[in-house]
Amino acid sequence: MIDLQVFRDAIGVPAYEDEDILLYRGDALSLLDAIPAESIPLTVTSPPYNIGKAYEVVKAIEEYIEWTANWTQKIHRVTTSDGAFWLNLGYFPLPDKGKAIPIPYLVWDRVPFFLIQEIVWNYGAGVAGKLFFSPRNEKFLWFVKDPLNYIFNLDEVRDPNVKYPNQKKNGKLKCNPIGKNPTDVWQIAKVTSGKDRSSKERTSHPAQFPIELIRRIVLASSNEGDVILDPFAGSGSSLEVAIRTGRKAIGFEINGEYVDTAISRIKRLRLDLAAQRAQIAMFQGD
């Protein structure tokens, strides 16, 4: 286990820090160069999709693919020998080719990792289509550095919702008593916005990940005490998950507004967890 001080000494003074978190404001490409080689067990992130969101600078397709190859190469350098890289990407149009091309189809062979699997995140809310089926999924690409040696904690993420939990074959339970493998299609609700439908965890970020989604990745592909990296930290979902699951985290975010949002989110979480501990201690003292 590497102490966060090692990273602080290497990268510099962050915009925010506590015992588990280092959050930097800056460009991921330059900040990644400061991280020691083979020091990060898990990177989970979602870079800009290059579709014109308020926080994006739209690049030509070839430039975007080259940019992706550049920063993922840097991720590869800092990943431990048994480490993983989870990459979320959406869709964009390609002139004369398609309305919504999955970005992973264009960049997967430029990523210097071994691809274990594509995970489909199926969510409930989204755009309603008229001349096409309503989009309800995004992709995660699960990469590892060594296909013969990587962390996979299946028991940590098993689905307890088993239809026939007591079914036996030759006197033995057919299903693991902890639960079933959740498969490669994950049905997890999106973080929604809007009057009377906004998710409880909603922040001002327009493309926020649900905690449950990142939690499953972190539990499956890292161990307690590990350092998680998110080079495009946004509103800080991965940082919150790290705290909640007993990990440490390093986040990079170029947008100052989202850095402030993430800091406020972490501070609020710290207060909530402290209040929960105080309440537990009070009842235990009775």
Domain segments of the chain: what residues?
4-284
Q: Choose between 201 and 80: higher pLDDT.
A: 80
C-beta of residue 192 within 8 angstroms of C-beta of residue 199: yes
Cβ proximity of 236 and 262 under 8 Å: yes
DSSP class of 175? S
CATH 1.20.1300.10 fits 4-284, yes or no: no
Residue 88, pLDDT score: 93
d(CA 49, CA 206): 12
Q: Two tokens at 60?
A: 């030509």
CA atoms of 92 and 107, how far apart (whole Å): 13
Percent of the chain with pLDDT over 90: 59
Across 204-216, average pLDDT: 76
The beta-strand segments (E) located in 104-212 are: 114-122, 137-144, 168-169, 172-173, 185-187
* Residue 153 main-chain phi, psi, to 5 deg: -100, 75
User: What does the pLDDT read at residue 91?
Assistant: 86
